[in-house]
Amino acid sequence: MLVVMNARASEAEARAVCEKIRRMGLTPHPMPGEGRTAIGITGNPGPLDPLAFESMPGVLQAIPVTKPYKLVGREIKPDDSVVRVGPEKARLGGGAFSVIAGPCAIESREQALAAARAVKAAGAVLFRGGAYKPRTSPYAFQGLGEEGLEILKEVRAETGLGIVTEAVDPPSMEKVAAVADMVQIGARNMQNYSLLRLAGGCGRPVLLKRGMSATLEELLMAAEYVLSEGNYDVVLCERGVRTFADHTRNTLDLAIVPAVKRLSHLPILVDPSHGTGRREKVEPLALAALAAGADGLLVEVHPDPDAALSDGPQSLAPDAFGELMAKLPKLAAALGRKMAEK
Amino acid sequence: MLVVMNARASEAEARAVCEKIRRMGLTPHPMPGEGRTAIGITGNPGPLDPLAFESMPGVLQAIPVTKPYKLVGREIKPDDSVVRVGPEKARLGGGAFSVIAGPCAIESREQALAAARAVKAAGAVLFRGGAYKPRTSPYAFQGLGEEGLEILKEVRAETGLGIVTEAVDPPSMEKVAAVADMVQIGARNMQNYSLLRLAGGCGRPVLLKRGMSATLEELLMAAEYVLSEGNYDVVLCERGVRTFADHTRNTLDLAIVPAVKRLSHLPILVDPSHGTGRREKVEPLALAALAAGADGLLVEVHPDPDAALSDGPQSLAPDAFGELMAKLPKLAAALGRKMAEK
Amino acid sequence: MLVVMNARASEAEARAVCEKIRRMGLTPHPMPGEGRTAIGITGNPGPLDPLAFESMPGVLQAIPVTKPYKLVGREIKPDDSVVRVGPEKARLGGGAFSVIAGPCAIESREQALAAARAVKAAGAVLFRGGAYKPRTSPYAFQGLGEEGLEILKEVRAETGLGIVTEAVDPPSMEKVAAVADMVQIGARNMQNYSLLRLAGGCGRPVLLKRGMSATLEELLMAAEYVLSEGNYDVVLCERGVRTFADHTRNTLDLAIVPAVKRLSHLPILVDPSHGTGRREKVEPLALAALAAGADGLLVEVHPDPDAALSDGPQSLAPDAFGELMAKLPKLAAALGRKMAEK
Amino acid sequence: MLVVMNARASEAEARAVCEKIRRMGLTPHPMPGEGRTAIGITGNPGPLDPLAFESMPGVLQAIPVTKPYKLVGREIKPDDSVVRVGPEKARLGGGAFSVIAGPCAIESREQALAAARAVKAAGAVLFRGGAYKPRTSPYAFQGLGEEGLEILKEVRAETGLGIVTEAVDPPSMEKVAAVADMVQIGARNMQNYSLLRLAGGCGRPVLLKRGMSATLEELLMAAEYVLSEGNYDVVLCERGVRTFADHTRNTLDLAIVPAVKRLSHLPILVDPSHGTGRREKVEPLALAALAAGADGLLVEVHPDPDAALSDGPQSLAPDAFGELMAKLPKLAAALGRKMAEK
């Protein structure tokens, strides 16, 4: 059920609706929009009676929701959501194009700082880098853990860039949420519902990557888990799906960008690094992502890609990243859009 | 590195090898086989020198391992592993064909007991049923949790069947391991490496389901995570992969059965319920799984499938399950195999 | 529209219905079944009036058809179709299990005869071998063409086995239909509708292989093309679909066997050679195909697989084929079925 | 084998090399480039001796080719191929961005002319429209055939636009080649090798669409069939591949654009209409195709999409097409490219 307040409804009237919802043992999710506020209701085992709300002052309409998702849908919130991240309140969503960049894994203080200075100089608005790495092999480098988080703090202190880094389980979620400006949920954990609930309560914006074989609906439902815990600052990310095609590591599905925009108010980024797995394809697909309407990019940049401990073949060197960043503003302008400013 | 002891090597000689491995700061994994013992070494960042071991008494050979997996491979353990589960030591692997059956989710004491009595009467050797359910929607029934575990204890007490049930995160892993005879890791968590490590230390045999788009190597590497923590009692399970085909919920990939058998000593079951998603296809694919060489089945059985809270369309009613179970021994005999006895 | 005659209707009454359909400018397709005859109508641009037929003598009912396929559906013909092929009227479909075997390509008189003698001795009921080979590279061996057809004639003359061979275009269709007992349409041509229509008029039974990414409905519609031209002797064949899985050449989709049986009266074979692409997986998947309810197998057998000009890695040597054939009757008996007799 | 002439080699020297190749019973394929001419050799069953050519006057080097394709590869021809089509020599490839547009099927003189006037006015350089339609159902509209070709002639006469239309079998190939300016081979026929050879001898440029589950190598090998018959005017087209994703009809694989550019000199277009199957996603993916480096688009435009006999849901109306065309030049300019002029 979705309760839509009318345009002139007071805050007190909205609060009264939330109060009533709580008295019914359910959870209200007020979502303020440009014109009006809508209040989603979750927790109801079956259908509710619209009349129970439509008779209240300030209520325009109570709409039963038929899609399996509620809070992530455009029905409840027609305007694009904008998520603000980090000390400089970097903007994700709402029209601007934002680039998050950095190495796959934090390997050392030197490597992280070199990467961060380079991506900041080139115009990235947030720094990404993994301290906890989900790796296919138990014998592969698993990330520096807490030591990596300490390095990320230094990176932020020096560069002013907000930090995006991945949490993989409850202990790392706690540590990451204490340090990071945005918590990443990786593709392999997109349906780790327990982790999604923790992300919903972690107090930080969440970057949610699409699973390797996730449908659009499954992606939106994964985001719904986070929102249903009261955390509405979720940004989606397409990073390629698994198909028979063998010319790239994954098949980047750019059509999901307009598909998400149609159904959901959440921002969606594209990761052309994992999406192709090949350095020379990162730039063309990054430009294509902007043209397709994405809200930004997640790009792997390493000061010395050939020496990277993980995902070297898909990482850009700083100069190649600089070339890409120089092309984006012109392309954005041609599309009537602009780059996010810090 | 794999240290193979010669056939007449004493236990003391094998212990000495393990001792040396530990002194090097590495982890020894002794795997006793029919003819001889092999000792896997994990934890080495780079290649080791074979001569360091080949000069020790009782050592036949020290073999560098080139496959990304070590402990799950046939190289380290040429004989089939047999995993014994539950109060009656039900046998999984090693030639016999074993059926694990029960409802998708534990819904009530009555439902669970009715299902358990039916599957025991028909010849299942273990009972499955979820107390913690990973669901696509945060608003769907998520399982009874601890109440479900209490019901499962009763089921075991009454029927004597060992219990297989899923853990989805650290808290449920602890509770499940305290009650269940075998811990299931679901398809969505096949690459939840943190959970796999916990499974490696949980003290119970583990049933590991293949992820929806997992390659054979990724499945074996997921198992490697569990074994690398010292838990060698792992059973794999094929449950269908995601493809374009729309006549079944998933595409059951039976060719992975001989593929696993060739590379790994671990038992592999087949789940024709999730693998097809359609009740009428469960029996033909269950028979096909046996013919393809699987070690057993995981089958959803519900006393009243049409009233099931989850996965009803793919659950068998007790009588249809009984019919399937009546066909298996004849088929097994024709293949020169036999059904697992309790 | 489907006109169902009642059980005691005379042949003259059925002829009168066909006559009327033709007078309407449409095409009648009489399909005699065990109990009664049904007459399919194709060619109508829109819906027809059931009353136009229900008022005729001998007519039980006139049923509008809602599925996109008509002639291949169980609605029009509830009983299994049986297709008889070759000098010995080998039976495909209707309960018996039939094996078609031979090399991928006819390479020489000696190779073909050696293969044919071996597969006949082991119990195959038809001989397969390509004279026209669709090859990915224009520079690869493309088959012996007419010379290959001459060799196939000799094979039949000597062994008495009916011949199954592929046509790839109009000229080869004409030549193949003049010689072969059954015309194969390969996976790459499953949606070559022009060739399917020619197959519909070729005067021979047709073996139609599933395309690499064909859905069940597309497979049935491809068969519908052949039947709509008046050729009802069509046998389907599952040969694996293309997925991300890399442990086999294709992913063999055995669940399509019961899915076809549910919707269509046409027989369905399984090709475990192309379906796996790996010799050692042919036997387990062949046994699984029988257990899943397939009507038979299409197996590649080469007198010297390692010297084969095409598809050697998936071809069985005669002794391995003999071992497989020895296992099938026991398995069939355990399933309450029997092997096709010549 | 690839014989590379040196930069100052005379035409007579190149002819002498071709002569020698022919005397050896092989086929020479001279491919003139910007700087120098290379001559591909096909027809050799095994490796050739480089010295046989390197001793001839004007020859720089003779290089054995290791990739399965020869004539389509960048090794033989490092410069981009440019294909010129139609009365106005519309340019495909070589840097300019070219749009081919028109309805899925020619339905009537009025429909075709209305569509052609609209796409010409908006800036398309070639007109597409099917006279022969491959349809999944034998009972669906199959195109107007020769009547459709007559209409296409009128369209060209009136608008001056060159005509692109599909051939599906030998009879239609003959008729299409007599009328069309460019012959299309559809996705379902990408591995119809017999048709590809006919296309190689048809005397017209060829537009080759990627098959629904074709790998990059299979696409290039299909083109190789056409080139190996002496027709070097081939343009590739990405139109989406079949995956599990259900938010679009196919999954458009834009990463194949840079992948083709890396390996082959052939132009590659993108078809966002089939690639998405949804009208509202055509524009974002069309823009993305340009940004990814494609040489142009193939777009479905219908004067009245909702009344279209086939593929209406993915066809643009003239005004939506006009809006797309207005955005392309600005985007091209931002990327340092320009639109093809007629």
pLDDT tens by residue, A47-97: 788 888 988 999 988 887 767 888 999 988 989 999 999 999 999 999 999
8 Å CB contact between B21 and B59? no
In tens digits, what is the pLDDT along chain D, a chain of 342 residues?
A: 888 888 889 989 999 999 999 998 888 988 877 677 889 888 887 778 888 898 899 998 888 776 788 899 998 898 999 999 999 999 999 999 999 999 999 999 999 999 999 999 999 999 999 999 999 988 888 899 999 999 999 999 999 999 999 999 999 999 999 999 999 999 999 999 999 999 999 999 999 999 999 999 999 999 999 999 999 999 999 999 999 999 999 999 999 999 999 999 999 999 999 999 999 999 999 999 999 999 999 999 999 998 888 788 899 999 999 999 999 999 999 999 999 975
How near does any CA of chain C get to the CA of B132, in Å?
29
Burial of A25 (0-12, 13-18, 19+ CB in 10 A): exposed
**A147 domain residue, yes or no:** yes
Q: What is the pLDDT of residue A331?
A: 98
Which amino acid does the sequence have at D33? G
With tokens 């005699």, the residue in question is: C32
Mean pLDDT of chain A, nearest integer: 94
Closest CA to D249 of D282, D221, D291: D282
Q: Which of D16, D33, D63 is the last residue of a domain?
A: D63
Does A293 reach chain D within 8 Å, measured CB to CB? yes
Is D193 in contact with C224 (Cβ distance < 8 A)? no
Count structural domains, chain C: 2
Sheet holding C27-32, edge to edge: C27-32, C37-42, C2-5, C59-63
What number is the average pLDDT over the span C154-160? 97
Strand A126-128 relative to strand A234-238: parallel, antiparallel, unpaired?
unpaired
Judge if C29 and C117 occupy the same domain. no
Size of interface A-D (CB pairs under 8 A): 123
Partners of A243 on chain C (C-beta within 8 Å) are: 244
Does C320 reach chain B within 8 Å, measured CB to CB? no
Query: Helices marked H in chain B — which ranges?
Result: 11-23, 51-54, 109-122, 146-159, 170-179, 193-200, 216-228, 256-263, 272-276, 279-292, 318-334
How near does any CA of chain D get to the CA of B332, in Å?
35
Size of interface A-C (CB pairs under 8 A): 5
Does D66 reach chain C within 8 Å, measured CB to CB? no
Mean pLDDT of chain B, nearest integer: 94
Judge if C227 and C103 occupy the same domain. yes
Judge if D158 and D263 occupy the same domain. yes
Judge if A9 and A98 occupy the same domain. no
The span from the CA of A102 to the CA of A112, in Å, is 8
Judge if A106 and A229 occupy the same domain. yes
Subunits touching D (CB < 8 Å, at least 3 pairs)? A, B, C
**C69 domain residue, yes or no:** no
In this structure, how many other beta carbons lie within 10 angstroms of the beta carbon of residue C234?
26
What count of Cα atoms within 13 Å lies in the side-chain half-sphere of residue C279? 15
Is C284 in contact with B262 (Cβ distance < 8 A)? no
The span from the CA of C281 to the CA of C274, in Å, is 11
Judge if B150 and B16 occupy the same domain. no
Which positions ≥6 away from D177 have C-beta within 8 Å? D167, D183, D202, D203, D204
Q: Which two tokens stand for residue C205?
A: 């039974």
Partners of D242 on chain B (C-beta within 8 Å) are: 244
Closest CA to D194 of C190, C198, C149, C172: C172
Which amino acid does the sequence have at D322? G
Residue A208 β-bridge partners: A185, A236
Domain span holding position C50: 2-63
Does A342 reach chain D within 8 Å, measured CB to CB? no
The span from the CA of C213 to the CA of A134, in Å, is 32
For an interface test with B, give the residue of D241, D243, D244 to mutate (most B CBs within 10 A).
D244
**A46 domain residue, yes or no:** yes
Q: Which two tokens stand for residue B95?
A: 């030639």
What phi and psi values does residue A49 have, to the nearest 5 degrees? -90, 115
Subunits touching A (CB < 8 Å, at least 3 pairs)? B, C, D
Q: Which two tokens stand for residue A175?
A: 């540590």
The span from the CA of D37 to the CA of D6, in Å, is 8
Closest CA to D185 of D169, D163, D209: D209
Q: Which of D12, D30, D63 is the last residue of a domain?
A: D63
Subunits touching C (CB < 8 Å, at least 3 pairs)? A, B, D
Is B193 in contact with A168 (Cβ distance < 8 A)? yes
Partners of B212 on chain C (C-beta within 8 Å) are: none
Closest partner residue to C255 among B281, B330, B334, by Cβ? B281
Using CA atoms, how far residue A233 sits from A15, A126, D139, D229, in Å, is 21, 16, 51, 59
Which positions ≥6 away from D166 have C-beta within 8 Å? D130, D131, D132, D133, D134, D172, D176, D183, D184, D185, D186
Q: What is the pLDDT of residue A61?
A: 86
Strand C37-42 relative to strand C27-32: parallel, antiparallel, unpaired?
antiparallel
Judge if C227 and C163 occupy the same domain. yes
- Angle (nearest 5°) at CA C43 between C38 and C49: 65
Judge if B128 and B243 occupy the same domain. yes
The span from the CA of D162 to the CA of B137, in Å, is 53
Partners of D143 on chain C (C-beta within 8 Å) are: none
**B70 domain residue, yes or no:** no
The span from the CA of A125 to the CA of A122, in Å, is 9
**C340 domain residue, yes or no:** no
**A68 domain residue, yes or no:** no
**B321 domain residue, yes or no:** yes
Judge if A189 and A299 occupy the same domain. yes
Does D230 reach chain C within 8 Å, measured CB to CB? no
Does ipTM top 0.85? yes
Q: Residue B61 is inside which H or E element, if any? A: strand B59-63
Judge if B203 and B295 occupy the same domain. yes
Strand C296-300 relative to strand D37-42: parallel, antiparallel, unpaired?
unpaired
Size of interface B-C (CB pairs under 8 A): 124
Judge if B104 and B222 occupy the same domain. yes
Judge if A40 and A170 occupy the same domain. no
Residues 105-144 of D with CB under 8 A from B: none
Which residue of chain C has the CA closest to A241?
C244
Q: What is the CATH number of the domain that holds D38?
A: 3.30.70.1140
**D20 domain residue, yes or no:** yes
Residue B39 β-bridge partners: B3, B30
What phi and psi values does residue D97 have, to the nearest 5 degrees? -110, 125
The span from the CA of C283 to the CA of B90, in Å, is 29
Q: What is the CATH number of the domain that holds A253?
A: 3.20.20.70
How near does any CA of chain C get to the CA of A246, in Å?
9
Q: What is the pLDDT of residues B185-241, one digit of tens each?
A: 999 999 999 999 999 999 999 999 999 999 999 999 999 999 999 999 999 999 999
Which residue of chain A has the CA closest to C245?
A244
For an interface test with B, give the residue of C254, C257, C263 to mutate (most B CBs within 10 A).
C254
Which residue of chain C has the CA closest to B329?
C334
pTM of the model: 0.91
Q: What is the pLDDT of residue D342?
A: 59
